Chain A
Amino acid sequence: MILQVCTKVCLFIIILFSVHSFFAGHYEPGGGFIGGLMTSGALVLLLIAYDMKTLKNILPIDFKYLIAVGLLFAVGTAAASLFFNVPFLTHAFGDVQIPILGETALHTATLFDLGVYLVVIGVTMTIIQTIGEDE
């Protein structure tokens, strides 16, 4: 009971910290790998405090597809540079007009990092769920 209430409070702090560490990866220590590990750490805390079925209700996705989507993001960002007559994996950056946020500087390395993030979450959760199933 104490653990479950504590999990409800801590989960959002851990996920916020992992998202911060993911987005701060360009200028500070952090990035996709450590952010993904921390997000899956939050999900593991949820698994420990509750059970597998609760996680499946909250997050009804198969984590194996998450690996595929992440790899697709990484390969897609790498291959998109081929359409602009530049070598594979060349990244571009620029200022983009986003409706709500105004003019924002974006870099395509973030999309590559998002691929890493998704793959790390998928691999970690697949390993833990596969080992954790006791029957």
Chain B
Amino acid sequence: MLENIVVITLFTIACSMVLLIYRVIKGPSTPDRVIALDAIGINLVAFIALISIELKTSAFLDITLLIGILAFIGTVTFAKYLEKGVIIDHDRD
């Protein structure tokens, strides 16, 4: 029962990632692509959690938190680049 549910959910998340990749490729503006990549990262977290249910191991649970942190830092960096043109200021006004 649980295995079937996990497989169905994995398939659904894979479909949503494919649709997000379509948005990354097609997206008319850069912020669209950034948001799509961020959502792909969050989908990857769910994917890894479901795979660690499927493989009956808890070794991958650190990775989910790590991907969450990395997706956050990456999105913030890109947003700051789009907004201000520089990523790291030397001296904040």
Q: Once the chains bind, are A51 and B69 in contact (CB under 8 Å)?
A: no
Q: Once the chains bind, are A132 and B87 in contact (CB under 8 Å)?
A: yes
The secondary structure that dominates the A interface is helix
Flag whether A48 is at the interface (Cβ < 8 A): yes
Flag whether B76 is at the interface (Cβ < 8 A): yes
Chain B residues within 8 Å of chain A by Cβ, number: 19
B69 closest partner in A (C-beta): A14
Flag whether B70 is at the interface (Cβ < 8 A): yes
With a CB–CB cut-off of 8 A, which chain B residues contact A95?
none
Interface segment out of the listed A37-45, A74-82, A85-93: A37-45
With a CB–CB cut-off of 8 A, which chain A residues contact B59?
28-29
With a CB–CB cut-off of 8 A, which chain A residues contact B89?
50-52
B89 closest partner in A (C-beta): A51
Q: Once the chains bind, are A45 and B76 in contact (CB under 8 Å)?
A: yes
A135-B76 in contact given A14-B69, A17-B69, A29-B59 (Cβ < 8 Å): no
Option from A21, A28, A48, A54 in Cβ contact (under 8 Å) with B77: A48
Q: Which chain A residues in 83-107 approach chain B with CB under 8 Å?
A: none
When each residue 52-93 of chain B gets 1 if its CB lies under 8 Å from chain A and 0 otherwise, what string results?
000000010011011001101100110010000011111110
The docked-state distance in angstroms from the alpha carbon of A133 to that of B86 is: 10
Q: Once the chains bind, are A53 and B73 in contact (CB under 8 Å)?
A: no
Q: Once the chains bind, are A10 and B72 in contact (CB under 8 Å)?
A: yes
Q: Which chain A residues in 108-135 approach chain B with CB under 8 Å?
A: 128-129, 132-135
Q: Once the chains bind, are A54 and B90 in contact (CB under 8 Å)?
A: no
Q: Once the chains bind, are B73 and A29 in contact (CB under 8 Å)?
A: no
Q: Once the chains bind, are B80 and A51 in contact (CB under 8 Å)?
A: no
Q: Once the chains bind, are A135 and B65 in contact (CB under 8 Å)?
A: no
With a CB–CB cut-off of 8 A, which chain B residues contact A30?
62
Q: What 6 A-B pairs are tightest by C-beta distance, nearest first?
A: A132-B88, A51-B89, A51-B92, A47-B88, A52-B90, A53-B91
Pairs across A and B, CB under 8 Å, 14 listed:
A3-B76, A10-B69, A17-B66, A21-B62, A28-B59, A29-B59, A41-B73, A44-B73, A48-B76, A48-B80, A51-B92, A52-B89, A52-B91, A134-B86
